Amino acid sequence: MDRSASASIPSSTAGAPLYSFPIPSFSLQGKNLSSLFTALVIIVSLLVLEQAVYRYKKKHLPGAKWTIPLIGKFADSMSPSLEGYIKQWNSGDLSAVSVFNIFIVMASSNEYARKILNSPTYAEPCLVHSMKQILRADNWVFLAGKAHVDYRRGLNALFTRKALGIYIDIQESICRKHLSRWLATTEKTPAPIPIMMIARHLNMETSLGVFCGPYIPEEAANEINTKYWDITLSLELVNFPLALPGTKVYKAIQARKVAMYWLEQAAHKSKIAMAEGGEPACMLDEWVTTLKDPNYKGRREFSDLEMAMVIFSFLFASQDAMSSGLIYGFQHLADHPEVYSKVKEEQDRVRQGNFSKPLTLEMLDQMTYLQAAVKESMRVMPPVLMVPYKATRAFPITDNYNVPAGSMIIPSFYNSLHDPEVYPDPKSFLPERWLDPEGSANANPKNYLVFGAGPHRCIGLEYAQTNICLVLATAIAMMDWEHDVTPKSKLVEIIATVFPKDGCRLFLKRRAD
């Protein structure tokens, strides 16, 4: 029987039919089936190719044998946990994951972390996938090679001991203002207060005060502080890539525009003030003055926009990491009364009972136990767990494995900072380990990756350490505190960096003596 696709009525029965009914077009259905089959073949082929490419890139590295089609480990990246990261790091010195077809190599050992940080020929910092949209692609932090080295060399003068001495009065005055507010709040309503957001506000105003001095009005500092949280929330490892209205990346870009507006104004005002013979009172002033020094060797002209981008990059580097360091500094001291007592005794000795006397760098130099406690706090709970890099070419990280070009490669710092051979009893908070110059902690500086390593090592590490010490020293001079321990106190929240899950709630009271 001829089962033709036309389904016409035989001629022997031709004539006017008594009734009619729609006859399905088997020819059209066949075309649809063919198109559907072709589409399915293409989809299946792409999925198979995706798995094959993943397996080819992964090779022998630990990690899932197969990746979830299209999204990979996206669900895990949406709710990251420290425990999850530790499990990944412990699976091997190098391990692999894929998120939205972005192939990622995780490096957990000190050897490989340092190799990545010190290999600008093969890898460059990319932070997160959307970072160039947020910071601007023309920001100096994205420079590489000699261009980056030369630019950075010109900024080193902003963090000399002389410069830090200029900043310290600004830091202390802003710190005392905010701590007084904390005490006023708790005295009005005696209850534990969560310090995560108020510590971030303190840190933001301090940074803006140090960087921009009197050229940033308080209302601008408040606006930048409020908007900056959108930047923090956008710093997920993988985000929706398009900056469409309502997305985290879009909100972060709008927040950056607000900050950049005020920072450009500050740069312009600083240039005018220094041209009129003013004395340097902040980082911008110090920068403008340095550029006029006849002995200065380097680029001498920077537009207001360029200076604003540099200051914004410092703000970006300091805000989340330093806020985390501050919060854990408060919590670690509260959780270890014996350490708290020693820090308090040291403050009494150095200040000689005068708790209103302005701090100096020389006074902070004498607070060796406080410095050890801060250093240990950042080791136990590093403000930055890892810094994503991008392989700019095939990276021969081992003798038998090349990280594919275009892949993300992420050195983690946690395992280096918790190496039991360098830091015996690594989970314990023991400031004393830093007081012995011959001890294993001081003898292995390569393990202390809190501020990274290599050409992109944190340029403001002395400023960051000084500021955390100053805030804690000032807090002990003004008040006592206890940690309101909750079931979530030992949990952490990973956003741009690591914060206590419940924001660290403290009981505060004004120091009696």
How far is the C-alpha of 167 from the C-alpha of 170, rounded, in Å? Answer: 5
Tokens of 387: 């810094």
Close Cβ partners of 260 (under 8 Å, ≥ 6 residues apart): 305, 308, 309, 312
Tens of pLDDT, residues 476-505: 999 999 999 988 888 888 877 888 888 899
For the segment 284-338, what is each residue's pLDDT rounded down to a tens digit?
999 999 999 988 888 889 999 999 999 999 999 999 999 999 999 999 999 999 9
Q: Which pLDDT tens digit goes with each residue over 191-239? A: 999 999 999 999 999 999 999 999 999 999 999 999 999 999 888 766 6
Residue 23 has pLDDT above 90, yes or no: no
- Three-class secondary structure of residue 158 per DSSP: helix
Over the stretch 237-262, which tens digit does the pLDDT of each residue have?
666 767 889 999 999 999 999 999 99
The binding site for heme comprises 458
Convert 297-333 into a string of H (helix), E (strand) and C (coil).
CCCCCCCHHHHHHHHHHHHHHHHHHHHHHHHHHHHHH
The pLDDT, as a whole number, for residue 241 is 66
Provide mean pLDDT across the span 270-283. Answer: 96
Q: Is residue 80's pLDDT more than 80?
A: no
Encoded amino acid at 333, one letter: L
Please give the structure tokens belonging to residue 144: 């590489």
Q: Which of 196, 152, 88 is nearest to 506 (CA)?
A: 196
Q: With pLDDT > 90 as the criterion, what percentage of the chain qualifies? A: 68
Q: Which of 68-82, 141-155, 171-185 has the lowest mean pLDDT?
A: 68-82
Summarised one tens digit per residue, pLDDT across range 430-480 is 999 999 999 999 999 999 999 999 999 999 999 999 999 999 999 999 999
> Residue 8: is its pLDDT beyond 70?
no
Domains of the chain: which residue ranges?
132-510
pLDDT digits (tens, 9 = 90+) for 396-433: 999 999 999 999 999 999 999 999 999 999 999 999 99
Task: Report the pLDDT value the prediction gives residue 412, as an integer from 0 to 100.
Answer: 96
Q: What is the pLDDT of residue 239?
A: 66
The residues pairing with 391 across neighbouring beta strands, listed in sequence order, are 123
Confidence of residue 67 (pLDDT cuts 50, 70, 90): confident
Q: What is the pLDDT of residue 432?
A: 98
Residue type, 401: Y
| Of 188, 258, 182, nearest in space to 222 by CA | 258
Q: What is the CATH number of domain 132-510?
A: 1.10.630.10
Point out the least confidently predicted range of 1-15, 19-33, 360-374, 398-412.
Answer: 1-15
Distance CA 143, CA 431 (A): 37
pLDDT of 18 higher than 80: no
Per-residue pLDDT for 266 more than 60? Answer: yes
Whole-angstrom Cα Rg for the chain = 29
Long-range contacts at 361-369 (CB < 8 A, ≥ 24 apart):
361/161, 361/164, 361/165, 361/168, 361/466, 364/168, 364/466, 364/469, 364/470, 364/473, 367/469, 367/473, 368/435, 369/342, 369/343, 369/431, 369/435
Task: Output 149-152 pairs: Cβ under 8 A, ≥24 positions apart.
Answer: 149/455, 150/298, 150/299, 151/299, 152/455, 152/459
pLDDT at 376: 98
Report the chain's mean pLDDT, rounded to a whole number.
89
Q: Which residues are annotated as a binding site?
A: 458
Model confidence at 19, pLDDT cuts 50, 70, 90, reads very low
